[in-house]
Chains A and B, each alone.
Chain A
Amino acid sequence: MTISASPLDYGVQFVAMASDCEVRLAGVAAARAQTLAALAIAEVQRIETKYSRYRTDSVVSRINVASGNGASIGIDAETAQLLAFATQLFALSDGLFDATSGVLRQVWDFKTGRKPSPAQLKAVLPRIGWSHVQWNEQTARLMQPGMELDFGGFGKEYAADRAATLLAEEGVQHGLVNLGGDIRVIGPQADGSPWLMGIRDPREAREARKARAARPEGAVIASIPISAGALATSGDYERFFIADGERFCHILNPKTGWPAQHWQSISVIAPICVAAGAMATTAMLKGPDALAFLQGQDVSYLAIDADGQILRSD
């Protein structure tokens, strides 16, 4: 964790959920800013610990280990509310946002860059499906053996919302929480002007991005000013490989098992980060229907199509 500061404007950088994160606070004294940032970081870490699928002691791991064996795992109120949210996302996205689609990672290997065979896809698809998740206020279980629940599709966004809300309730009026590009704004900069959010150029070469790490604005293709609400971006550049001239990214359709290919990236501005992120991912998977879907949700967006053209809401 590092701290960079100009008078009354503090940025605290840290790594959580395998992402570069920052808590930015303006208009508060240094000592208070550090206390507040620690509070926000602790909340992010709490959510990471509780829901990480990489930790065997997380509630998600315990549910996954018991998949198909009939055992119900006890859950708390927060987990039940997240399952309720995932249930709604599944319905609202017509099945495109499915928190059980993580098993597709087992057949899509982005390191070696090999496409799965039709047989491999056919084998894994039955282990995906929100309808196989049985839950109530106290317990949850996965009905198919080998199924996996994964809150990765909204966990980071949820953590950004929780941390920012905590800070707002502590009286913070100027600042934001940025968890690897999932950003929840608490309030505008100390002088009242909006924060300028950079949208990353999806096609900038990885090497160039590394070289520009010290000057991150160099990788920016557009900027969006925001003084409240949230911004989340879903893009085909985080994890991908190119085979036979085609690009295959990690945003996978749970119905077909196949990656989204219509958009390079979609950024959504919404009141709450967890909603913005879910809409961005759903829009990526909606393909040509993405913009109509976003307009129907009454949110602002910035979409970059396969040719690199920027389309934005007015």
Chain B
Amino acid sequence: MAATDRKDDATPRAWTPGSFTLAALALPGVMAAPAVAEGVPETAFVAAKVQAYNDWQPGLDRIKVIAPSMYVLAPFAGTWSIESTLVHDSISGASPRWHTSISGASRMKDERTAVDVKVMRYFDRWSVGLRGSNSTENDYRSNAVALEARVSSADNNTTWVAGAGVTRDTINPVNELVVNEKKSVTDLMLGVTQTWTKNDLLQANLSYVRGRGYFNDPYKLADIRPRSRDQTVALLRWNHFIEGDNAMLAGSTVRSSYRYYSDTFGVRAHTAQLEWVKPISDRFSVIPSARYYTQGAASFYFDPVYDPVIGEPFPVGNPRYFSPDTRLSAYGAITLGAKVEWRIDQRWTTDVKYERYEQRSGWRLGGNGSPGLARFSAQFLQLGISRRF
């Protein structure tokens, strides 16, 4: 008859690995990553980036932005982490043609400094985070706080996230059109990330944003918008890792996403994005990307059609709300880009990213684009370097 062990469980509780076990541990794929509190970053991470952006319309160079930024992520006290981003933007250039109160493409210069700090506390299967941020320009100040909670299923295949935040903005335009105007925004977010197969990750996020206050552009001659804007955003993501024998595709990852946007200004927008993460060697990856965006105009957007009598465009009739802001017009846009990542060694990584953006009213899908708008182009270059500790 079987002699059952006197102990309930012979499983060693605290292993002091012997030399044979240590040798075996060096083999690939024989030990799953150790279970620690959910998602605590293992090492500190510091990144520095410089982003350069400029946009133009036919015959007119518009805005240039240079934005250096620093990012720090550091674990502390075992189950905490702190994350911080510091960005400084310098913006110079001309505001858009047709749509400025100062005709003839006025020159502008502005600077913005933004700080964002997030503290996370990790528990066994869940984590909570508190984020505070501040952004200051000479005519615009914004403060925000947000709370976020994440829970993972016992098998770690599903992660739910819920977040809520409040933003308070103060607007003091240099032309003193308004003084100490306010805007306050409350947002709620729910999301779920699901490991579908070992090669597929699905994510769905739903956000509702409720905004009240001053939404006008004080630098536009005719711009009166509702004092409330509620936004609904739905986002679906699918990341797929490709296996198999195909030398070109195997080992690469396709990231795709779709985003639906709707607001009470009447804007409806769709974004589809595709990225392909292709490792070229152990150290190099290239990531080409393409994005298509299409939106319908806000209900109070008016077309910038010059009138032979009154000259500069002005809304027809006597509407309650009106805006000539091109960002509220109907258009489509395509962004093509590529990023190259170079992992110099275990600690250092550097990357270069370039994106080219073009916006045309004729590219809108499922309806006409707004008339009278010139093509709008932009490019974006980012250099980054990061180090793990």
Our verdict on whether A and B bind, yes or no, reads yes
- A interface residue numbers (CB < 8 A to B): 39, 77-78, 81-82, 84-85, 88-89, 92, 158, 161-162, 165-166, 168-173, 185, 194, 196, 198, 217, 220-229, 269-275, 278-279, 282, 296-300, 310, 312
Contact flags B11-43 to A (C-beta < 8 A → 1, else 0): 110011111110111111111110000000000
- Chain B residues in 8 Å Cβ range of A185: 11
Please judge, given known A-B contacts A194-B9, A299-B12, whether A274 and B27 are in contact too, CB under 8 Å: yes
Please judge, given known A-B contacts A81-B26, A222-B3, whether A275 and B10 are in contact too, CB under 8 Å: no
The answer to whether A217 and B20 have CB atoms under 8 Å apart is no
> Is B156 in contact with chain A by the CB < 8 A criterion?
yes
The answer to whether A227 and B9 have CB atoms under 8 Å apart is yes
- Interface residue ranges of B107-147 to A (CB < 8 Å): none
The answer to whether A275 and B21 have CB atoms under 8 Å apart is yes
CA A196 to CA B26, docked complex, whole Å? 29
The answer to whether A299 and B4 have CB atoms under 8 Å apart is no
The answer to whether A223 and B24 have CB atoms under 8 Å apart is no
CA A82 to CA B27, docked complex, whole Å? 7
The answer to whether A269 and B11 have CB atoms under 8 Å apart is yes
Additional pairs, 7, CB under 8 Å, beyond known A77-B28, A223-B3: A171-B157, A194-B8, A225-B11, A226-B11, A270-B18, A274-B24, A297-B20
The answer to whether A224 and B10 have CB atoms under 8 Å apart is yes
Which residue, of B3, B10, B17, B20, has the highest number of chain A Cβ atoms within 10 A? B20
- B interface residue numbers (CB < 8 A to A): 2-5, 7-12, 15-21, 23-33, 154-157, 195, 198
Nearest to B157 among chain A residues (CB) is A171
Of the A-B pairs whose beta carbons lie under 8 Å apart in the complex, a sample of 19, sorted by A's number, is A81-B26, A81-B27, A85-B24, A88-B23, A168-B32, A171-B156, A173-B154, A173-B155, A194-B8, A196-B4, A221-B3, A225-B7, A226-B9, A226-B11, A227-B11, A228-B11, A272-B31, A275-B18, A300-B12
Secondary structure at the B interface, as helix, strand, loop or mixed, is loop
- Chain A residues in 8 Å Cβ range of B29: 161-162, 165-166
Which residue, of B8, B18, B155, has the highest number of chain A Cβ atoms within 10 A? B18
CA A181 to CA B157, docked complex, whole Å? 30
Nearest to A77 among chain B residues (CB) is B28
The 6 A-B residue pairs with the shortest CB-CB distance in the complex, in nearest-first order: A297-B18, A171-B155, A275-B24, A161-B30, A168-B32, A88-B23
CA A84 to CA B26, docked complex, whole Å? 9
Please judge, given known A-B contacts A227-B11, A275-B21, A299-B21, whether A221 and B28 are in contact too, CB under 8 Å: no
**A43 smallest CB distance to B (angstroms):** 9
The answer to whether A85 and B23 have CB atoms under 8 Å apart is yes
The answer to whether A310 and B3 have CB atoms under 8 Å apart is yes
Which residue, of B3, B8, B33, has the highest number of chain A Cβ atoms within 10 A? B3
**A157 smallest CB distance to B (angstroms):** 9
**A281 smallest CB distance to B (angstroms):** 11
CA A274 to CA B21, docked complex, whole Å? 8
CA A287 to CA B3, docked complex, whole Å? 24
The answer to whether B9 and A169 have CB atoms under 8 Å apart is no
Q: Which of A171, A227, A228, A272 is in CB contact (< 8 Å) with B30? A: A272
**B201 smallest CB distance to A (angstroms):** 13
The answer to whether A229 and B11 have CB atoms under 8 Å apart is yes
The answer to whether B30 and A165 have CB atoms under 8 Å apart is yes
Q: Which of A166, A169, A221, A278 is in CB contact (< 8 Å) with B20? A: A278
Nearest to A282 among chain B residues (CB) is B20
The answer to whether B2 and A298 have CB atoms under 8 Å apart is no
- Chain B residues in 8 Å Cβ range of A39: 198
Q: Which of B5, B19, B155, B157 is in CB contact (< 8 Å) with A92? A: B19
CA A92 to CA B19, docked complex, whole Å? 7
CA A102 to CA B3, docked complex, whole Å? 35
CA A312 to CA B11, docked complex, whole Å? 14
**B323 smallest CB distance to A (angstroms):** 50
- Chain B residues in 8 Å Cβ range of A217: 2
Q: Which of A161, A224, A279 is in CB contact (< 8 Å) with B5? A: A224
Please judge, given known A-B contacts A85-B26, A170-B198, whether A92 and B11 are in contact too, CB under 8 Å: no
- Chain B residues in 8 Å Cβ range of A272: 21, 24-25, 27, 30-31
The answer to whether A298 and B198 have CB atoms under 8 Å apart is no
The answer to whether B15 and A298 have CB atoms under 8 Å apart is yes
Which residue, of A158, A165, A272, has the highest number of chain B Cβ atoms within 10 A? A272
CA A235 to CA B381, docked complex, whole Å? 66
Nearest to B25 among chain A residues (CB) is A272
Which residue, of B11, B12, B24, B25, has the highest number of chain A Cβ atoms within 10 A? B24
- Chain A residues in 8 Å Cβ range of B19: 88, 92, 297
**A39 smallest CB distance to B (angstroms):** 8
- Chain A residues in 8 Å Cβ range of B156: 171
The answer to whether B20 and A225 have CB atoms under 8 Å apart is no
The answer to whether A225 and B10 have CB atoms under 8 Å apart is yes
Nearest to A86 among chain B residues (CB) is B23
- Chain B residues in 8 Å Cβ range of A274: 24, 27, 30
Nearest to A269 among chain B residues (CB) is B10
The answer to whether B9 and A279 have CB atoms under 8 Å apart is no
The answer to whether A296 and B9 have CB atoms under 8 Å apart is no
CA A279 to CA B18, docked complex, whole Å? 10
- Chain A residues in 8 Å Cβ range of B9: 194, 225-227
CA A172 to CA B18, docked complex, whole Å? 27
- Chain B residues in 8 Å Cβ range of A170: 198
Please judge, given known A-B contacts A270-B21, A279-B20, A298-B15, whether A223 and B5 are in contact too, CB under 8 Å: yes
The answer to whether A158 and B27 have CB atoms under 8 Å apart is yes
CA A169 to CA B2, docked complex, whole Å? 34
Nearest to B6 among chain A residues (CB) is A314
The answer to whether A278 and B26 have CB atoms under 8 Å apart is no
**B327 smallest CB distance to A (angstroms):** 44
- Chain A residues in 8 Å Cβ range of B21: 270-272, 275, 297, 299
**A183 smallest CB distance to B (angstroms):** 12
CA A172 to CA B157, docked complex, whole Å? 10
The answer to whether A165 and B8 have CB atoms under 8 Å apart is no
- Chain B residues in 8 Å Cβ range of A279: 18, 20
Nearest to B23 among chain A residues (CB) is A88
